[in-house]
Amino acid sequence: MKALVIHGKQDLRAQTWETPEPAADEVRVRIAWGGICGSDLHYYHEGANGAFVVREPLIPGHELSGTVDLDPAGELAPGTPVTFHPATFGECQPGLEQHPHLWPRGGYLGSASTTPHTQGGMSEYLVVKRSMIRTLPSTLPLKRAALTEPLAVALHGIRIAGGVEGKRVLVCGSGPIGLLVAAAALAKGASEVTATDVFEGPLARARALGVHATVRIGEAEPAAEAFDVALECSGVPASIDVAIRAVRRAGVIAQIGMMGAGAQPLELATLISKEIQLRGCFRFNDEVDEAIELLDRDARFDQVITHEIAADDAVEAFDVAKDAQVSGKVLVRLWPA
């Protein structure tokens, strides 16, 4: 089979790999679409995602959709449209029984956090445990279904925030995750959604989704204490400070954007005096199923996708995805049958 393989910093190659054979509890899927995630960008452009360094050839990709190719158990017919829950859960710890995504020593498709690396799905075929498979409604296009994983991240952030129905919501950062968060907040009944970014391109895309207002940071700032909830999607300390100032007293900030390791400079005195709750968000638990339902009934999510680029032009796709001004979600069309 053909596969996109990262060998190190800015070393991405289309190569021929052995087509994997599924075991009895596995399913082989022919991949149709793969979304480029922030972690994929780090692996390609920097050769590492935080502390996770590419030490051996790595197939990226965990935002995926495709069709069943082979199910040894015969439970899924060839051609069945599917997506994935890309995690394999680790070891349960006391107090974490209902939070398997937080169990230590788990794995994730397309990750260098494990050795050997956990290969992802930017390839013709991918073999996964049957428990990771999610079948798709016939009415959900495979292209839109590739948004399932990042939308699940957005929905998990909204859940951690305590929901958004009837609330004034600030979305900090209008990159691909921020756009999905904004669209999900609108779909889930927020009374007002305002989006921020430092670039006009992402803000224009947020307006196209139907947000009520946008704020270009550097030129303006959201009104102080004007929001019940902030969903912070950039992971930039200055943006978190904006959220601290913009959220009302006793409001909630859900920190969806990942930050770098080490100490971070934040306006914690303001957070403390306003009794704001700052809540961490990591990937997702079971929101992948809700994401599929939401994608099936709401075509607005198509607008988050700005580029569709063939796998043979993958280097271009990774370069475009790095440019926040011009791109939202970039999808790679894997080699068609």
Tell which residue, 254, 299, 306, 259, has the closest CA to residue 276: 254
Domain count for the chain, please give it. Answer: 2
Percent of the chain with pLDDT over 70: 100
In a domain, 39, yes or no: yes
Residue 73 backbone phi and psi in degrees, to 5: -80, -10
Q: What is the pLDDT of residue 50?
A: 81
Q: Are residues 27 and 136 in the same domain?
A: yes
Outline where DSSP puts E strands in 85-155. 87-88, 107-108, 125-129, 133-135
pLDDT for 261 equals 76
Token output for 8: 């190190």
Which pLDDT belongs to residue 191? 98
Give domain status of residue 204, yes or no: yes
Same domain, 141 and 158: no
SS3 244: helix
Q: Assess whether 161 and 139 both reside in one domain.
A: no
Mean pLDDT for the chain overall: 96
Model pLDDT, residue 260: 79
Are residues 124 and 159 both part of a single domain? no
pLDDT at 51: 82
User: Are β-strands 305-310 and 125-129 bridged in parallel, bridged antiparallel, or unpaired?
Assistant: unpaired
pLDDT of the residue at 232: 98
pLDDT for 18: 96
Average pLDDT over residues 87-101: 94
**Residues 195, 327: one domain?**
no
Res 274: pLDDT? 98
Task: Report if residue 252 sits inside a domain.
Answer: yes
Confidence of residue 40 (pLDDT cuts 50, 70, 90): very high
Q: What is the pLDDT of residues 136-148, one digit of tens each?
A: 999 999 999 999 9
**pLDDT of residue 86 exceeding 80:** yes
Q: Let me know if residue 107 belongs to a domain.
A: yes
CA atoms lying within 13 Å on the CB side of residue 335 = 14
Res. 337 pLDDT band, cuts 50 70 90: confident
DSSP, collapsed to helix, strand or coil, labels residue 87 as strand
Q: What's the pLDDT tens digit per position in 59-82?
A: 999 999 999 999 999 999 999 999
Domain co-membership, 10 together with 142: yes
| For residue 81, cis peptide bond before it (omega within 30 degrees of 0) | no
Cβ atoms of residues 44 and 318 within 8 Å: yes
Judged against a pLDDT cut of 90, whether residue 259 lies above it is answered with no
Averaged pLDDT for residues 1-29: 97
pLDDT, tens digit, for every residue of 19-34?
A: 999 999 999 999 999 9
275 burial (CB, 10 Å; 0-12 / 13-18 / 19+) is exposed
- Does residue 166 lie within any of the structural domains? yes
Q: What does the pLDDT read at residue 1?
A: 97
Burial of 250 (0-12, 13-18, 19+ CB in 10 A): exposed
List beta partners, residue 124: none
Domain limits for position 272: 154-280
For residues 166-172, give the mean pLDDT: 98
Q: The CATH number of the domain where 246 resides is what? A: 3.40.50.720
132 and 198 assigned to the same domain: no
Residue range 200-204: mean pLDDT, rounded? 98
The pLDDT assigned to 128 comes to: 98
Q: Which residues are CB-neighbours of 95 under 8 A, at least 6 positions away?
A: none
- Looking at the structure, tell me whether residues 87 and 24 fall in a common domain: yes
Token pair of 168, please? 């004034």
Same domain? 27 vs 92? yes
Q: What per-residue confidence (pLDDT) applies to 146?
A: 98
Q: Judge if 137 and 9 occupy the same domain.
A: yes
Show the tokens assigned to 211: 């947000």
Q: 165 and 141 in one domain?
A: no
289 falls within a domain? no
In CATH, what number is assigned to the domain containing residue 75?
Answer: 3.90.180.10
Question: In the chain, what is the greatest distance between 2 CA atoms, to the nearest angstrom?
Answer: 59
Shared domain for 261 and 229, answered yes or no, is yes
CA distances from 51 to 39, 42, 90, 161 (A): 12, 11, 19, 28
